[in-house]
Amino acid sequence: MRHNRVITPPGNLCDDSRMSSRQITIIANWKANLPPSEEVALAKAIAEGVGGELHAAGRGASLRVLLAPSTLGLVSVASLLRREYPQSGIDVAAQDTSLSGAGAFTGEVPANHLVGITPAVIVGHSERRQRGESDEIVGEKLARVVAAGLAPVLCVGDDLPAAEIAARVVYVQHQGAEAITAAERAGCSATQLFAAGFVIAYEPIWAIGTGKPASVEIAEAIASGLRAALHQNDLPILYGGSVDAASAASWLGTSKERTGLDGLLVGGASLDAVRFSAIVRAGLAAAGPA
């Protein structure tokens, strides 16, 4: 195993050495809120809203926008974006994948069937964990995603609304390490995982859909603690949990003064094209010149 996942206390909240070159990723998680036809309409409205600005800014490399429709809507939304808005650079992400590979597994969605449809797959969202997904399962899914050549977005998050920051950091470090160790048991080395475009999204359960986001201070401490524990100074860490248009800029900062976060995973506010477009604009402002 390449790295030593020692659980460490939060270090510097903002490491300046990684400030300049960081790509920002903004993911819209539409969950099972809309039927595919409405997902296509929403993708169209978002692409009409910010696609031109994304193209004009030429910031494809420094700002990545991914829409995660339902599994049923994934192909239609991906086709729409590639056919009608290729220059926007907006792409899709899958919300989940199955534990099984291809074969006689009725109803399952193997990771290797997502190849060519999506570049990225969310794994371990708390709504999946609440339905029984353990760290072991999450790790196995990470391994499946990497084996398929896709980029995993691992969701972690505490259910400790009143905890001290340090306790929260230790909890999330442990959760991240457990999933990575399980991925290793499933045949995916940490080296392979980090080389696959691995991203972690910190989504405290108490902040998801509650209108009560964490603070930037907490999210930065988690980001710093995860990077330290995993010995990955450049590991991209997103924040998710009640992010809205009005708060998006505060999570990301400006191109001159970025926070320690690398993007946002947005649920409720991503179901509204105007609100989500405003969040993407905050990403553009933080990404700065291409």
Residues involved in catalysis: 125, 203
* Minimum distance, C-beta of residue 208 to ligand PEP, in the bound complex (Å): 4
* Minimum distance, C-beta of residue 189 to ligand PEP, in the bound complex (Å): 28
Interface with ligand PEP by CB under 6 A: which range of 1-9, 112-120, 190-198, 266-274? 266-274
Q: Looking at 91, 96, 135, 203, which residue binds ligand PEP (CB under 6 A)? A: 203
86 counts as binding ligand PEP under rule CB under 6 A = no
User: Residue 160, exposed/middle/buried by CB under 10 A (0-12, 13-18, 19+)?
Assistant: middle
Given a contact cutoff of 8 angstroms between Cβ atoms, the answer to whether 100 and 108 are in contact is yes
Interface with ligand PEP by CB under 6 A: which range of 40-48, 87-95, 253-261, 263-271? 263-271
User: For ligand PEP, which residue has the nearest CB?
Assistant: 267
* Minimum distance, C-beta of residue 243 to ligand PEP, in the bound complex (Å): 5
208 counts as binding ligand PEP under rule CB under 6 A = yes
133 counts as binding ligand PEP under rule CB under 6 A = no
Interface with ligand PEP by CB under 6 A: which range of 15-23, 172-180, 215-223, 267-275? 267-275
268 counts as binding ligand PEP under rule CB under 6 A = yes
Q: Looking at 24, 26, 29, 253, which residue binds ligand PEP (CB under 6 A)? A: 29
Interface with ligand PEP by CB under 6 A: which range of 76-84, 188-196, 262-270, 279-287? 262-270
263 counts as binding ligand PEP under rule CB under 6 A = no
| Total residues interacting with ligand PEP, rule: CB under 6 A | 13
Closest to 158 measured CA to CA, from 97, 219, 199: 219
Interface with ligand PEP by CB under 6 A: which range of 87-95, 189-197, 202-210, 224-232? 202-210
Q: What CA–CA distance (Å, rounded) separates 93 from 88?
A: 16
HEC string of the chain equals CCCCCCCCCCCCCCCHHHCCCCCEEEEEECCCCCCHHHHHHHHHHHHHHHHHHHHHHCCCCCEEEEEECCHHHHHHHHHHHHHHCHHHCCEEEECCCCCCCCCCCCCCCCHHHCCCCCCEEEECCHHHHCCCCCHHHHHHHHHHHHHCCCEEEEEECCCCCCCCHHHHHHHHHHHHHHHHHHHHHCCCCHHHHHHCCCEEEECCHHHCCCCCCCCHHHHHHHHHHHHHHHCCCCCCEEEECCCCHHHHHHHHECCCCECCCCEEEECHHHHCHHHHHHHHHHHHHHHCCC
Q: Looking at 124, 152, 241, 260, which residue binds ligand PEP (CB under 6 A)? A: 241
* Minimum distance, C-beta of residue 245 to ligand PEP, in the bound complex (Å): 12
Given a contact cutoff of 8 angstroms between Cβ atoms, the answer to whether 235 and 200 are in contact is yes
Q: Looking at 180, 266, 279, 282, which residue binds ligand PEP (CB under 6 A)? A: 266
77 counts as binding ligand PEP under rule CB under 6 A = no
- Binding positions for ligand PEP, rule: CB under 6 A: 29, 203, 208-209, 240-243, 265-269
